[in-house]
Structure 1
Amino acid sequence: MIKNVFLFLLILPIKFLIAQSELAAFPAGADPKEIGHKIAHRFITGKHMLHAGKWISYPETFYWTGTINYAHLTGDHVLMQAMKDRLSKLTASEPQLLPPKNHVDLNMFGSLPLRLYQLSKDKNYLDLGLPYADTQWEVPQNANPTEKDWAQKEYSWQTRLWIDDMYMITIVQAAAFQATGDPKYLDRAAKEMVLYLDELQRPNGLFYHAPDVPFYWGRGNGWMAAGMTELLRMLPQDHPDRPRILKGYLTMMNSLKKYQTRSGMWNQLIDQSDCWAETSGSAMFAYAIISGVKQGWLEPKKYSPVARNAWLALAKYVDDKGAVSEVCVGTNKKNDKQYYYDRPRHTGDYHGQAAYMWCVNALLE
């Protein structure tokens, strides 16, 4: 009996390491570090992608932060300095491009300087980033009745029950927690995530774009997958909201495993086999699954092949200049199925560039 238990304990970590190895060795053309280098360095000379033509947009913010994380992981000091210089130029000579603190898609900008603060401890970054986290819970005087109602229930006044929000809100609150150590930020993010899970997750684990838009849009679901992943990486094992978020995550990952196409990708509408393969959402799903395997939330034997096949497929959409193709453009909700089929597809769109950096960094960790 003792011998059998010993063999089981010996075989278990070996099986885990074998499954993990599927995420460590890739053929030529799919090496995460090489692809990451191309995508990250492309950002140095990239133009701003502006929200409403006025302010730094969330795709640029996340591409920027992903590049910072890549520079940190690889020890690329030249790239890191370029990212700091870009922010210095923004605050010094382009301050009009700094997003106002009045919308869920704009407040997330704070996650960028807060990440730089974590790495450098330069208080200027903290002073720039923290107000973006705080104002998500500070109700403005001109708030409408719905916003005030959410605030009275101790949710963000920016709550709107669009699935995109569960990366926008959680990422800046989580970054504020990492920067300050104040648990209120993590508690806020977790409480908000539980609300969205309870309100929006369907029995199959996926999410409608919004309650009144019953379609499983790829990138929208990707925001949920990535948001849950970010929170689970930070939530203590004994946090009261962790079991609910983990349950939502596992249910979603099980569904994504079933809907992955033979190519390794996921479609623009996840459950529609005749829809086109979309890269940004697929990269977000791959990021969530890679992280789940590495963090021990997902069984490696079942999910390592899913993550590997996804990355091998995704690598084919990156050109020599580090531009990702087949990226769905920015998309508002619309109760029209054909609308999602007909969305334009761009190459080099920062929605895709950012999500690829998440995958790269997760594979390199």
Structure 2
Amino acid sequence: MNKLKTIVIALLLTSFAYVLNAQENQADRIPEYEIPYELPSVENVKEVLNRIRMYYESTSLQHLIDSKTGEKISDFNTFNPNAVPSPGFSGEWSYTHGVVLSAFDYITKVTGDKTFFNNNTKFYEYVIENLPYFQNNSDKIKSSKIGNWGRILEFEALDDCGSITAAMIKTYLITKDDKYLEIINRTAEHISNNQFRLEDGTLARNRPQYKSVWADDMYMSVPFLINMGVLSGDKAYFDDAVKQVLQMADRLYIREKELFDHGWNVTSGDYDPRFYWGRANGWVLMSMAEVLSILPEDYQGRDKILHLYRSMVRSLANLQDGDGFWHNLLDKNDTYTETSCTAMFTFVIAKGINEGWISHVYGPVALTGWNALQTRVLENGAVDGTCEGTTFAHDNTYYYHRGKSIYATHGYGPVLYAGAEMIRLLQNNKIEIINTNFGSINSTFHFLLKSEWPEKK
């Protein structure tokens, strides 16, 4: 009898241990995500966008000051040689600010919330109202730059005018304020006729190497050209935009990688070293998205741009890190994960799905990109983790050690764009999104194209 009791107790203990072990193993098998692997809500996305907007609005007073005393200038009858625009991001005449203003225009179109677009009219009115003060006294200005308005009086590079004036065109198409046209037309003259180009017409720079082509310059020129074509009705701007994309690709697109090299120069030619910097590839894809959005589907060269777009998206899906970010050097996972390129890729992939340029199966790539980006937006709305301004370099050490901060303003516009496109994706009635099952061993997102499936009865 004692022996039977011992056997029963042993069996019970074994069964209990088995149950406990099974429970422990079950817990071990459930994935743990550092960044939530879940479907965001439209309300959550809007909250993030508004937080960024409010931070942006707080950064500048948008008036002229004496650079030595910091005092606001109120007497415009006598020119103050120390006059500069007040500091702060929202008062800059800069290409990064141009991306923000273009994004504000886009967010208002997507959501109907005019508080974003109101920043466009406020800024451009500030510029137009105060620019004559400097233009009329240009002979008294000692520097070629006017504070954070840079070379606004006389453009020297694409950075000086392309992006910020592309946003100005978008704003003009709504406000119809003819006072914008002087700057718009001056930018068209610079990009079309004054900016340095290679013999075949490709926009280029003589820095840092002789006859250099930068991937960045696609965004510094193409969005302006394509929108100038819309404004003017002159298809020559469309043709130049297409030419810039395709001829820059001839030198920078690396077919084996399906990515763009950051830069190329004539001296190195076919043997130029290759560095796949994240933001440079982001600028390229943002430019392509702008062109694809505007050009008629049968426009000559559009199909080639669409192919480049699709091939880059395919490569980027594979290069995305497990937390949803992309790396500063895309093919080197030991470089840090970077905010601006992650935002750009999130935007263009979501945009491609919404417009039907790429398959809906890329949906989870965009979604996890957005989930990652939200973690870089601080409580006060500042965007962190963005790589500082970066030259066209020729060594890994430089790219590996680029700084990153909330003051690298290249990340703000792309994150705003990404959020706007994520709202469109979440509201896309052509797609059914199957959410993850929290706590499941095997669960992922599935984006299904409704038209492919039989109607449910």
TM-score interval, smaller chain: 0.7 to 0.9
Residue 343 of structure 2: aligned partner = 283
TM-score under structure 2 length normalisation = 0.67
Instruction: Give the secondary-structure state (helix, strand or coil) at the position aligned to 2:327.
Output: coil
Report if aligned partners of 1:218, 1:267 keep a CA contact under 8 Å in 2.
Answer: yes
Q: 1:207 maps to which residue?
A: 260
CA distance in 2: counterparts of 1:270 and 1:248, whole angstroms? 17
**Structure 1 contact 166–193 (Cα < 8 Å) conserved:** yes
Select 2:173's aligned residue among 112, 118, 121.
Answer: 118
Cα-to-partner distance string for 1:24-83 (whole Å, 9 max, x where unaligned) = x94369822111111123222224568xxx972211221222223323433333443343
5 Å-filtered alignment, 1:201-350, equals 201-203=253-255, 204-211=257-264, 212-301=272-361, 303-350=362-409
Given residue 170 of structure 1, which amino acid in structure 2 is its aligned partner? V
1:209-268 CA-partner distances (Å, limit 9, x unpaired) = 112441111111111111111111112111111121111111111110110111011001
For the residue of structure 2 that corresponds to 1:161, the secondary structure is strand
Provide the residue aligned with 2:64 in structure 1: none
Q: Report the Cα distance in structure 1 between the residues aligned to 2:308 and 2:108, rounded to whole angstroms.
A: 32
TM-score when scaled to structure 1?
A: 0.83
Q: Name the CA distance, whole Å, in 2 between partners of 1:175 and 1:46.
A: 28
Name structure 1 gaps, 5 residues minimum. 1-24, 141-146
Q: Determine which structure has more spread, i.e. the larger CA radius of gyration.
A: 2
Specify the SS of the correspondent of 2:247. helix
Within-5 A mapping of 1:76-225: 76-93=113-130, 96=146, 97=149, 99=152, 100-108=154-162, 109-139=164-194, 147=196, 149-150=198-199, 153-156=200-203, 160-203=212-255, 204-211=257-264, 212-225=272-285
Query: Displacement, 1:322?
Result: 1.2
Tell me if the contact between 1:286 and 1:359 (Cα under 8 Å) persists in the aligned partners.
Answer: yes
Instruction: Indicate if the aligned counterparts of 2:279 and 2:341 stay in contact, CA closer than 8 A.
Output: yes
* 8 A Cα contact 1:41 1:79, kept in partner: no
341-350 vs 65-74, which deviates more?
65-74
Give the superposition deviation at 1:323.
Answer: 1.0
Larger mean Cα displacement after TM superposition, 273-282 or 79-88: 79-88
How many residue pairs match? The answer is 329
Following superposition, the deviation at residue 90 of structure 1 comes to: 2.1
Structure 1 runs of 4+ aligned residues shifted over 6 Å read none
Distance 1:349 1:29 in 2: 27
Whether 1:37 aligns to 2:50 is yes
**Would the aligned equivalents of 1:110 and 1:130 in 2 still touch at CA under 8 Å?**
no
Q: CA deviation at 1:363?
A: 2.4
Higher percent of residues as helix: 1
5+ residue gaps in structure 2?
A: 1-37, 61-86, 135-145, 206-210, 265-271, 425-457
C-alpha separation in 2, matches of 1:49 and 1:173: 28
> Match of 1:64, as an amino acid?
L
Residue 101 of structure 2 contacts residue 119 of structure 2 at CA under 8 Å; is this kept in 1? no
Code of the aligned partner of 1:329: E
> 1-side partners of 2:197 and 2:291: how far apart?
26
User: Equivalent residue of 1:138, what SS?
Assistant: helix
AA of the residue aligned to 2:223: I
Aligned residues with identical type, % of pairs? 28
One-letter amino acid matched to 1:38: R
User: Whose strand proportion is higher, 1 or 2?
Assistant: 2
Describe the SS at the equivalent of 1:215.
Answer: coil
Corresponding letter in the other structure for 1:103: A
Deviation at 1:327, TM superposition (A): 0.5
Rounded Cα–Cα distance in structure 2 between residues aligned with 1:264 and 1:210: 26
The 1:297–1:168 alpha-carbon spacing in structure 2 relative to 1, beyond 3 Å, is: same
